[in-house]
A and B are shown apart, each in its own frame.
Chain A
Amino acid sequence: DAKTTQPPSMDCAEGRAANLPCNHSTISGNEYVYWYRQIHSQGPQYIIHGLKNNETNEMASLIITEDRKSSTLILPHATLRDTAVYYCIVRLNFGNEKLTFGTGTRLTIIP
């Protein structure tokens, strides 16, 4: 799996959009970008994933650059409950594929 690089920490004001960047310059053509988050000591939680098109669901939006070497996770209206470690993971999208967690970004939502 390709390696990812994320800033170690970020702050965001409550109610504002949180934009979390991720670099994955060695991503291969058949690898997807996945985002998971881990709220303090809980099990990681799936957020969103994409291949090359921008994606949106009820939790977040994912913007992937045209060259696919980087992406941004957007939480449109951050709440205090969004405080967590966010992991950007590049992986193949076939059955049984493990998740390889990097260091992630610790996002703190400020009241």
Chain B
Amino acid sequence: AAGVIQSPRHLIKEKRETATLKCYPIPRHDTVYWYQQGPGQDPQFLISFYEKMQSDKGSIPDRFSAQQFSDYHSELNMSSLELGDSALYFCASSLEDGWTKNSYNEQFFGPGTRLTVL
């Protein structure tokens, strides 16, 4: 079965540079979530989109922005990168109003993008 695809899987940037992370949800999923997991920390919710509109916002820095496109893929844009932005960034997708095999509104996670800021 198709899973959530994230690209790139690894990314190395310098301080003050910009980065763009991409997420391709499971086909027919209409909701995308972004989570950030720092070294030794637990995942923290950043932002989510439903039908191309922002649906919720967490502790996302103003330097970050995101959007969901007409094909439902999403991009997380990060500017003026700081050392503290080094983390694993997970994207998850779900179907806003539908049952999957296991659960209603289950979130399926991608493999993550490991961002290293030097």
A41 on interface, CB distance cutoff 8 Å: yes
Do residues B56 and A93 form an inter-chain contact, with CB atoms below 8 A? no
Closest B residue, CB atoms, query A91: B105
Task: Determine, out of A21-29, A44-52, A68-76, the stretch whose residues face the partner at the interface.
Answer: A44-52
Asked if B103 and A49 make an inter-chain contact with CB atoms under 8 angstroms apart, the answer reads: yes
Indicate whether A42 reaches chain B with its CB closer than 8 angstroms: yes
Could you tell me the distance between the alpha carbons of A93 and B111 in the complex, rounded to whole angstroms?
A: 24
A97 interfacial contact with B, CB 8 Å = yes
Question: Among A44, A85, A94, which residue has its beta carbon within 8 angstroms of that of B105?
Answer: A94
B24 within 8 A of A: no
Is A99 in the interface zone, CB < 8 Å from B? yes
Encoded as 1 (CB less than 8 Å from any B CB) or 0, chain A from 31 to 46 comes to: 0000000100111111
Q: How distant is the Cα of A85 from the Cα of B107 in the complex, in angstroms?
A: 17
Interface string of A99-110 (1 = CB under 8 A from B): 111111000000
Contact between A98 and B110 (Cβ–Cβ < 8 Å)? no
Considering only residues 1-47 of chain B, those with a C-beta below 8 Å from chain A are 4, 31, 33, 35, 42-45
Which residues does chain A contribute within 8 Å of B94, judged by CB atoms?
95-96
Q: Please report B residues at the A interface, Cβ cutoff 8 Å.
A: 4, 31, 33, 35, 42-45, 48, 50, 55-56, 58, 88, 90, 92, 94, 96-97, 102-112
Further contacts, 7 of them, CB under 8 A, given A42-B112, A46-B108 = A41-B112, A42-B109, A43-B111, A94-B105, A96-B48, A98-B45, A98-B48
